[in-house]
Structure 1
Amino acid sequence: MSFVFGPVPSRRLGVSLGIDIVPRKYCTLDCIYCEVCKTDNLTIEQEDYYDINEIINEVKEKYLPLKDSLDVVTITGSGEPTLNKSIDVIVKKLKTFVTHPIALLTNSTLFYDEEVRQKVKIFDIIVPSLDAANEKIFKKINKPSKEINFSRMIEGLITFSNEYRGKLILEILLLEGVNEHQEHLDQLVEIIKNMKYDIVQLNTAFRPTAYKNVKRLDDIQLLDIALFFNEKGVKVEPVKNFISKNIPKNIMNDIFNKMLNMRPLSENDIVELFGEAFLKNLSQNTSLEIFKYNGETFFKKI
C-alpha cells in the first residue's frame, strides 16, 4: 500500500506532495464531477484505516529527498480525509519533520462534528468545498450519504471558518446547468458572507468526470461569475487564473474589458494573457488610464 503521491502542480497551493489516508473512494459524497470515479463506499463512519507509523515512514522516506522542490504537503487523495479518525495524530507526527505548510483538502461534510473541527485545526491550510447553497442542488451535484443533513453541514462549515486560525481557501466548483444560475449564486454569496476565509477559488470540471453529461463552464462564464462575486464583496482569487492561454482573438477585447471591471491590470498581466501586440495597441486606447505603481505600469478604465 502506497500513501504518498506526487509531487504534483496545484493551482491552489503550488508544488504539492500528496498523502492519501483513506482507502480509495471511501467518501461522504458521490460528486458527479469527481475525477477519480464513482464512490464505492458512501459513508460517514470515521475509522483508523491504516497503521499510522506506516504512513509516517513512507512520507518521511519520500519527503526528505524532495523537500527543496516542494511548496506544501497535502492530505487529500481518492476519498474524504476527515473519515480517518486519527487525522490529527498523523499531522502532529508529520510536523516533527515536515518543514512546509501542511494542507487539507476536504468536502466539508463532517464539520458539523465538533470533534472533527478540533482535530483539523492543526492544519496550516485548509481547502473546504462548497458547491451547493441549498439541499436540492447539494443532492444533484454532490450525491451525499443519506446521513448528511445539509443545513447542519453548512452551519458546521460556517462555524469552523470562524474558529480556524490558519489559511482557509474556499473552493466552489461550478457546472453548466447545475449550480451556475443567478439565484443559486446569490444564495452562495449569502453563505460566504457568514464565513471567515482568505480567498474563494472558482473551479469547473477540467478533466473526465465520474458521471456522464457533466458540462464544464468556459473561461468567460467563470470570469463573469468571478466579477459578480467581486461586486458582492467576495474575495475571489486573481482573475487571470480563470483565463486559458492562447485566447482566441475575437474574444480578447471582451475578456480584457471584463477583467478591467474588477481591477487594474499590469503590463505583465496583459502580456502573459494577451501577448505583446495586444499591449502595444492599448497605447491608442483613449478610454484607459496608464499609471505607475511601485515601478510597474498599470492600466485601468477612466
Structure 2
Amino acid sequence: MSMSSSLAEASSPAPAHVPEARRRDAVKPSTAFGCPRDPLNHRYVYAVISSRARGLSLGVNLNPRRVCNYDCVYCEIDRGGEGAEEISVDSQRLSFELSEGLDLVLSGRIQSRPAYAHVPREMLALKQVAISGDGEPTLCPNFTEAVETVVHLRAGGCFPFFKLVLLTNGAGLQERDRLEALDLFGPRDEVWLKLDAGSPEHFQRINRAPCEFPAMIESVRRISQRRPVVIQTMMPSLDGRGPSGEEIQALGRTLHELKESGARITEVQVYSATRPSHRGHCGHLPLGSLTRAARRIREISGLRAAVY
C-alpha cells in the first residue's frame, strides 16, 4: 500500500473508551467526543479534559468574540459574517475567574459538578492553564497585560505551581511587545504553535488564511528561535480522506528546514479533529493514519513526533 493511500483513510467514529454523560440531568457542555468543556459560569476561564494535556486543563479564553485571522476547515467556531472587533480583556475579572477555577479544581470540588461525576479522579488533576480562545489569543489588544495577570497570580503563592501553555498560530506575535510577552513564560511553561501544512496549497486548503505560506513559516521560525515551541499539527479527515503521503513528506521537510535554521522545536503533536466542525465534510482520522503520519514526520524531520 502506498504512503498516500495509507494516510488517506476514511474517518472513524470516536473511540469507545471516551466517557459519555450517563445522567439525563447532567449539564450538557460543549464536547470533544464526550470530553467536557465547561464554561464554569465564567466569561474567560473554562475547564476542559484535553487529550494533549493528558488530563484537565483550565483554559483562558482571550478571544470570546471569536476573532481569528485563520478560518480553519476543522474549527468548531462558525465565523461567517461576524466581522467582530476584538475587545480588551478585563484583567481584574480574569484574575478573579482564574482564582475561582483553580480553587474548584485543586480542592477536588469540580467532581461534584454533573459533567464530571463519572470522570475518574486522576483525570481531574490540573495539568496546565492554557491561554487560548474562541479565536486567536495573541490578537487580544491587551494580550501582554493578560499574560502578566496570569503570571502574577501564579507568583502570588496562593496556589501550587501550575504550568502555563499558550496555544497560538503566532499571528499577534509579529508585534514586538506581544512577542516580548513570551519572556514572561518560565522554563517549565510551553508555547504550542500551529503548523498544519508543509505546502502553500495545503495551507490554504486547511487554514484558509489571508497570509502567504512563506510569511507563516517565517513567523514560526522567528518565534521558535526566541524560545522552544511545541508544534501543533492538526490532520482532519476531509470528505473521508486524510492528507496525502506527498503532503506528509512536505510537512516533514518543512520541519527539518526549520530545525536546521535554528528553530527550537521540542515536539510535534499530531492529532485530529476532536470537536464537531461547523463544516460537515470534516471529521476525525483513524489512529492508524495518525500513527503512520507521525512516524513519517519523525523519519524526515528528525524531530520527536507523537500522536495525541
Shared fold (TM-score greater than 0.5)?
yes
Q: CA contact under 8 A between 1:173 and 1:202: conserved in structure 2? A: yes
Quick check: which has more Rg, 1 or 2?
Answer: 1
Alpha-carbon distance in structure 1 between the residues aligned to 2:164 and 2:195: 21
Alignment partner of 1:82 is 2:146: no
**CA shift for structure 1 position 48:** 4.5
Aligned-CA RMSD value: 2.4
Which residue matches 2:171?
Answer: 109
Which residue matches 1:92?
Answer: 148
The alignment's TM-score, normalised by the length of structure 2, stands at 0.68
Alpha-carbon distance in structure 1 between the residues aligned to 2:274 and 2:100: 32
Alpha-carbon distance in structure 2 between the residues aligned to 1:19 and 1:48: 15
**CA shift for structure 1 position 164:** 0.8
Which stretches in structure 1 are left out of the alignment for 5+ residues? 242-302
Alignment partner of 1:54 is 2:81: no
| Aligned residue pairs, count | 232
Which stretches in structure 2 are left out of the alignment for 5+ residues? 1-41, 108-124, 155-160
**CA shift for structure 1 position 154:** 1.1
Q: CA contact under 8 A between 1:103 and 1:127: conserved in structure 2? A: yes
Q: CA contact under 8 A between 1:189 and 1:234: conserved in structure 2? A: no
Distance 1:189 1:22, change over 3 A: same
Q: Secondary structure at the match of 1:26?
A: coil
Q: CA contact under 8 A between 1:27 and 1:39: conserved in structure 2? A: no
Q: CA contact under 8 A between 1:131 and 1:179: conserved in structure 2? A: no
Code of the residue aligned with 1:104 in structure 2: it is L
Distance 1:206 1:57, change over 3 A: closer
Q: Secondary structure at the match of 2:268?
A: strand
Code of the residue aligned with 2:51 in structure 1: it is R
**CA shift for structure 1 position 142:** 1.1
**CA shift for structure 1 position 31:** 0.8
Alpha-carbon distance in structure 1 between the residues aligned to 2:137 and 2:174: 15
**CA shift for structure 1 position 39:** 5.2
Alignment partner of 1:9 is 2:71: no
Q: CA contact under 8 A between 1:33 and 1:211: conserved in structure 2? A: yes
Alpha-carbon distance in structure 2 between the residues aligned to 1:140 and 1:73: 31
Identity of aligned residues (%): 26
Alignment partner of 1:225 is 2:265: no
Which residue matches 1:170?
Answer: 231
**CA shift for structure 1 position 100:** 0.6
Q: Secondary structure at the match of 2:265?
A: coil
Distance 1:215 1:73, change over 3 A: closer
Q: CA contact under 8 A between 1:175 and 1:214: conserved in structure 2? A: yes
Which residue matches 1:67?
Answer: 106
Alpha-carbon distance in structure 2 between the residues aligned to 1:40 and 1:23: 16
Distance 1:203 1:213, change over 3 A: same
Taking the TM superposition and a 5 Å limit, the aligned residue runs for 1:22-61 are 22-38=63-79, 40-41=81-82, 48-61=87-100
